[in-house]
Amino acid sequence: MSETAAPGGVVQKPRRTLTRAVIRFAGDSGDGMQVTGEQFTTEAAWAGNDISTLPNFPAEIRAPAGTLFGVSSFQLQFGSQRVHTPGDQLDALVAMNPAALKVHQSDLKPGGILIVNTAAFDQRNLDKAGYAKNPLEDPGLGEKYRLYQVDISGMTKKALEDLALNAKEKERCKNFFALGLVSWIYTRPLDPTLDAIKKRFAKNPLFVEANTRVLKAGHAFGETAEMFAEHYGVEAAEMPPGLYRSMTGNRALAWGLLAAAERTQIPIVFGAYPITPASSILEELAMHKRFRVRTFQAEDEIAAATSVIGAAFGGAIGITASSGPGIALKGEAIGLAVTAELPIVIFDIQRGGPSTGLPTKTEQADLMQALYGRNSESPVVVIAPCTPGDCFYIAYEAVRIAIKYMVPVMVLSDGYLANGSEPWLIPDVKTLPDIPVKFRTEPEGFFPYLRDPATLARPWVRPGTPGLEHRIGGIEKQDVTGNISYDPENHDHMVKTRAEKVRRVAQEIPPTSINGPATGDVLVVGWGGTYGAITAAVEEAQLEGKAVASVHLRHLNPLPPDLGQILRQYRRVLVPEINSGQLVRVLRAEYLVDAVGYNRVSGMPLASQDILEAINQLVEAKQ
């Protein structure tokens, strides 16, 4: 990475090398903190760091300025070693106003960098944040943290003095001053941001000029202002070689579907109703019509689910996406897909609940809903991605399993994976497994519920095929013929058959990979978006010499065939989850193992330090 040459006469400041850093940008909803964080992420990615991000914003679109509940933030951890999580405690916090300081200060490490925009610390904002007196006047703040009081707004205005922009437009550039400053502190390259500014404001050269100036002004301020004595470097991480891009979970889900559509050569019908945090999948897919994706913004969640069932009946890939509340509404429709034995995929981007709950925050409490949240015996395949980039593979795999077994497949992502991003090694799509699609066309011997002996899948028939006209529906049907049947023996047989079909998906599950020793004191079992936090905690425990391993489940129904055996190789089993103990119950019921949970349901990702503590407690509980 090239250092920007210091302006004439300025002494080059010393640079210290770090292995990782955790930074949070925090400000008002309208302060552009998400853009700032995303841009810094791109800069760190260019510098070759491994990265994990955590955008965190209020459900209100434009919450009243200056309020505590209107604070929006973007956190990331970047490092020269593998980075598993966005980090627990902050090395640096940028607080654009008093509310941001108040909300986030406690997460900053003692001695950490604290940059505040002094211009925003006026009486009005102090009142709104509930400060009786200006915290910047409290000498304790500067003693506890490395406090940098910077008039970000003022210097932004100054840099733009001669530009024909109004005061509001000038004020809106201030986030790039902060970005320029932090980019200097951590010596991340400005080039990607300069490029992004050009692209973003291509139609308005004045905005390009303004943002470029402010960004550079922030950078130059770090370089020249006496208050900054040193800055930091973080070397490139050792990552598998290849071409990388930044990937968020929701985009990865959408692109995984596109890959599946291209491979199968059948269209996708994606039916969804807008809901946080799933809406961006619909928006992303709507941009890719040339992949033969037909997006349908349905009138409600039920129509979203039933429309894709109609599409699957017609021989297309039917996908719907929602979050917990919407999945609840789709329940009856999913049951129809179970009994009609049609291949649909349901994405559940979990968020805090119950009811409306915490729409923009993450949670893992829909596992039971995915497994059991429908009337009667209604088994579906349930799988879960473990990182934002993994969402690409999980979406592709969901389509493959749904078609092969003619079953609904539910994918449990979450708000953290959906919006979080990571550097993602771009795969060679040719290496993805094949998704064979065979529509039945042969009328001879046809029945709608004939079964493939290996998968128990029934034939997929496209309407329009002569001689195969048939009727299916939600009423119980006789196996093979598909005729309506109320026969008790047949119903029992069909219930078992539908369950067995899902059970046979276990054939698709590769041997479980164990992170750590094959036997030991504690096995940590996780699923979904907690992968990073668990891995970081387990690796830390291993460094401390403890006999601890972890497995992370991508398949939740059916469970991996080798899991029972693995669980028995450890003295204790710990299951950290962002719910009140859902997987742990499944494991206890399924394997009669005395697994215990670590559960914290705060709307935020689990902290790896907390998981480490839970591991240590179990290890120490040993005689």
Partner 1 sequence: MSTVTGVPGAAQGGAPKYTKKDFESDQDVRWCPGCGDYAILSAMQKTMPDLGIPREDIVFISGIGCSSRFPYYMNTYGFHTIHGRAPAVATGLKLARPELKVFVVTGDGDGLSIGGNHLLHVLRRNVDVTVLLFNNRIYGLTKGQYSPTSELGKVTKSTPMGSADRPVSPCSFALGAGATFVARTVDRNIAHMEETLKRAAQHKGAAFVEILQNCNVYNDLAWNVLYDRESKVLHELKVQHGKPLVFGPVDDRRGLVLDGVKPKVVKVKDVPESALWVHDETDRATALVLAHLWAPDYPIPLGVLAANAGETTYEEILIQQEQKSISERGPGDIAKLLVSGETWKIG
Interface with partner 1 in residues 311-350 (CB under 8 A) = 311-316, 318, 332-333, 335-336, 340
> Smaller CB distance to partner 1: residue 56 or 320?
320
> Smaller CB distance to partner 1: residue 42 or 250?
42
Q: Is 274 in the site for partner 1 (CB under 8 A)?
A: no
Q: Is 210 in the site for partner 1 (CB under 8 A)?
A: no
CA atoms within 13 A on the CB side of 506: 12
d(CA 73, CA 33): 6
**Smallest Cα–Cα separation from 302: which of 272, 324, 346?**
272
- Which of 154, 310, 517, 581: binder of partner 1 (CB under 8 A)? 310
Beta-carbon contacts of 186 under 8 Å, excluding residues fewer than 6 positions away, are 21, 23, 44, 231, 232, 233, 234
Q: Is 206 in the site for partner 1 (CB under 8 A)?
A: no
CA geometry: angle 198, 199, 205, nearest 5 deg: 45
Q: Is 294 in the site for partner 1 (CB under 8 A)?
A: yes
DSSP state of 125: H
d(CA 264, CA 404): 12
- Which of 30, 274, 325, 427: binder of partner 1 (CB under 8 A)? 427
> Smaller CB distance to partner 1: residue 48 or 581?
48
Q: Is 192 in the site for partner 1 (CB under 8 A)?
A: yes
Give the footprint of partner 1 on residues 228-267 (CB under 8 A). 236, 239-246, 255, 258-259, 261-262, 267
Beta-carbon contacts of 354 under 8 Å, excluding residues fewer than 6 positions away, are none
Give the footprint of partner 1 on residues 465-484 (CB under 8 A). 465-475, 483-484
> Smaller CB distance to partner 1: residue 141 or 302?
302
- Which of 306, 362, 421, 557: binder of partner 1 (CB under 8 A)? 306
CB of 288 to partner 1, least distance (A): 6
CB 19 within 8 A of CB 9: no
CB of 239 to partner 1, least distance (A): 5
CB of 258 to partner 1, least distance (A): 5
Q: Is 429 in the site for partner 1 (CB under 8 A)?
A: yes
CA geometry: angle 276, 282, 283, nearest 5 deg: 95
CB of 332 to partner 1, least distance (A): 6
> Smaller CB distance to partner 1: residue 327 or 584?
327
CB of 285 to partner 1, least distance (A): 11
CB of 511 to partner 1, least distance (A): 28
Phi, psi at 425, each rounded to 5°: -70, 115
Q: Is 308 in the site for partner 1 (CB under 8 A)?
A: yes
In the three-class reduction of DSSP (H, G, I as helix; E, B as strand; rest coil), residue 589 is classed as helix
CA atoms within 13 A on the CB side of 496: 6
Give the footprint of partner 1 on residues 19-58 (CB under 8 A). 42, 45-46, 48
Q: Is 8 in the site for partner 1 (CB under 8 A)?
A: no
In the three-class reduction of DSSP (H, G, I as helix; E, B as strand; rest coil), residue 271 is classed as strand
Size of site (CB under 8 A) for partner 1: 72
d(CA 401, CA 189): 43
In the three-class reduction of DSSP (H, G, I as helix; E, B as strand; rest coil), residue 434 is classed as coil
In the three-class reduction of DSSP (H, G, I as helix; E, B as strand; rest coil), residue 414 is classed as strand
- Which of 299, 442, 487, 500: binder of partner 1 (CB under 8 A)? 299
CB of 482 to partner 1, least distance (A): 10
CB of 330 to partner 1, least distance (A): 11
Q: Is 200 in the site for partner 1 (CB under 8 A)?
A: no
In the three-class reduction of DSSP (H, G, I as helix; E, B as strand; rest coil), residue 211 is classed as helix
CB 267 within 8 A of CB 437: no
Q: Is 307 in the site for partner 1 (CB under 8 A)?
A: yes
CB of 121 to partner 1, least distance (A): 35
Give the footprint of partner 1 on residues 349-388 (CB under 8 A). none
d(CA 269, CA 267): 7
Instruction: Give CA 21 to chain center in angstroms.
Output: 21
d(CA 115, CA 181): 10
> Smaller CB distance to partner 1: residue 85 or 246?
246
Would you state the structure tokens that stand for residue 472, as one six-digit string? 């299916």
